[in-house]
Amino acid sequence: MMLKGKCLQYHNDLIRSIIINEPIFFSKTFYSSMSDTIDNLLFFFLNDEVSASLDNRGPLGDIIDCEDFPLYKLVNSDVEKLFQERTDFIIGSYFLDFTVSSFSVFEKWICNMYEELRPRKPSKGKKAKRLEKLIEQYYQTSSPSEKSLILEKIMVGCSAYVSSSEKIEFCMSRLTNDYKRDVKKDKKIINLYRNQRNTIHNLGVHKNKSIEPISIKGIDMDLKEGLPSFTEDRNSHIYICDELVEIYRAMCQDFSHSNINSNAFFQQN
């Protein structure tokens, strides 16, 4: 709830700094989007606490035992096990969903920032240089297999498409010396967060190389190859999201002197 409160406060502060005499609730920002994402987690835990405080979880027991719905009888024993034996699994699933949606919010708004920054802070041309080097290698070799391998590298690594991770890297690389946070640490946080989000494609299991562990408020978070994300305290999921919010805010403050169009920071509903 503290994180949600922070997001709402930052939202109001940002809108007031951009729009004068406009209703605040008519605008959408990174912070309001993150607040909406927090609602899903908050709604689950509040409802779980309320039902857990009632005898036999209140009306839930009546629903499960309802004789008018034979399909409910088929799952009756499994639902009982759900609340008795699989609570940790469900909580973990909700936190994974939260990780997915919260990082998607970050991606969306950083991509907005990228679109405004790109014309003002041109690319360093890394892809073009890589393409030139690969083309040179292609014409220097006479081996068909090597030519085929080089062509594959060109197709995979030199596409005109700019991924969201590349857009985030672009924005991070344009931060000034006045950036109020540790850029290297923030890149590690973003990298771990992104890889946690990507485990959604493998039922929560990390299929790539192990990610360097990070510590958030004294709680270690790691992501090892072939395993799901691990933390000793699930509060770390909230803490790392709080870090993501602060990273975005620091980036906005750092780019505030770049004459970026305010559309990068908010949109009208």
pTM of the model: 0.79
Which of 62, 60, 38, 39 has the alpha carbon at shortest distance from 50?
A: 60
Render pLDDT for 179-212 as a digit per residue (tens, 0 to 9). 999 999 999 999 999 999 999 888 888 998 988 8
Domains in the chain: how many in total? 2
Residue 146 lies in a domain: yes
Residue 79 lies in a domain: yes
Range of the domain at 150: 122-161
Tell me how far apart the alpha carbons of residues 236 and 229 are, in angstroms, rounded to a whole number.
11
Which residue did the predictor score with more confidence, 49 or 119? Answer: 49
**Which residues are bridge partners to 107 per DSSP?**
none
Render pLDDT for 6-56 as a digit per residue (tens, 0 to 9). 999 998 888 777 665 455 555 789 999 999 999 998 888 887 777 777 666
Backbone angles phi, psi at 53, to 5 degrees: -80, -10
Asked which of 161, 192, 212 is the last residue of a domain, the reply is: 161
Asked which of 85, 107, 133 is the last residue of a domain, the reply is: 85
Question: What residues have CB less than 8 Å from 32, skipping those under 6 apart?
Answer: 7, 8, 11
Residue 147 lies in a domain: yes
Residue 154 lies in a domain: yes
Residue 180 lies in a domain: no
* Least confident range of 43-57, 106-120, 141-155: 43-57
Residue 173 lies in a domain: no
Question: What residues have CB less than 8 Å from 10, skipping those under 6 apart?
Answer: 29, 31, 245, 249
pLDDT band at 64 (very low <50, low <70, confident <90, very high): low
Residue 63 lies in a domain: yes
Residue given tokens 């297999």 in the structure block = 145
Residue 149 lies in a domain: yes
